[in-house]
């Protein structure tokens, strides 16, 4: 194919699909990812078999790299605990909900029909992937779709989606009895 990379190993005409560092090793002083060479599957396997991360390091440098906390020496900037009114993370299904609550960016849009929704009802709508203005029919259709998607009988007995299925069922039970969907 035109424009396809070839393996950079001399004499090889296979496609170079896998990225590897240059033969002479990485440049000293990091100022970006540098040049890469591209190898075919067989040649990248050969490269990986003979690759030695510690090549050229002194015994002290190797010891420093093998420490359990290597790379974690820098302290991070602490969050301002006294900023006031910080949300409890457990109150939110999604961390972005907490950020929106903290900074006021996620104001709840009102339903067009004026019927109010509680916070648990809004969370249930998010679980189902629905907008606040959905009607009862849309709610029922989405519930049916998600139950079919997550039910073990429709997935060859795979029970890995049981938690998602239970969340969908609980959300639907809450919403079908809500005043907004009466």
16-71 pLDDT per residue, tens: 999 888 876 655 555 555 678 899 999 999 998 888 888 888 999 888 888 877 66
Q: Return d(Cα 139, Cα 176) in angstroms, integer.
A: 8
Q: Coil, helix or strand for 6?
A: strand
pLDDT at 11 over 90: yes
Q: Sign of torsion, CA 135 137 140 146?
A: negative
pLDDT at 12 over 80: yes
Q: Percentage of residues in the chain with pLDDT exceeding 70?
A: 70
103-130 pLDDT per residue, tens: 554 455 567 887 888 888 999 999 999 9
pLDDT at 158 over 60: yes
- Does pTM surpass 0.75? no
Q: Coil, helix or strand for 94?
A: coil
61: its two tokens: 């440098």
Q: Return d(Cα 29, Cα 71) in angstroms, integer.
A: 17
DSSP secondary structure string for all residues of 19-88: EE--TT-PPSS-SSS---EEE-HHHHHHHHHH--TTTT--HHHHHHHHSTTTT--SPPPPP-GGGS-PPP
């Amino acid at each position: 194919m035109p424009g396809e990379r070839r393996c950079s190993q001399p004499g090889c005409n296979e496609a170079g699909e896998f990225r590897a560092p240059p033969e002479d090793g990485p440049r000293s002083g990091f100022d970006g990812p540098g040049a890469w060479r591209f190898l075919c599957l067989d040649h990248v396997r050969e490269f990986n078999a003979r690759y030695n991360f510690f090549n050229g390091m002194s015994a002290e440098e190797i010891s420093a790299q093998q420490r359990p906390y290597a790379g974690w020496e820098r302290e991070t900037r602490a969050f301002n605990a006294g900023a006031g009114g910080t949300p409890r993370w457990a109150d939110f299904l999604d961390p972005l909900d907490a950020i929106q609550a903290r900074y006021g960016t996620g104001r709840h849009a009102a339903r067009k029909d004026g019927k109010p929704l509680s916070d648990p009802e809004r969370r249930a709508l998010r679980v189902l992937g629905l907008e606040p203005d959905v009607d009862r029919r849309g709610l029922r259709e989405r519930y049916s779709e998600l139950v079919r998607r997550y039910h073990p009988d429709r997935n060859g007995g795979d029970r890995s989606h049981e938690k998602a299925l239970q969340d969908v069922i609980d959300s639907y039970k809450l919403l079908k009895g809500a005043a907004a969907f009466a």
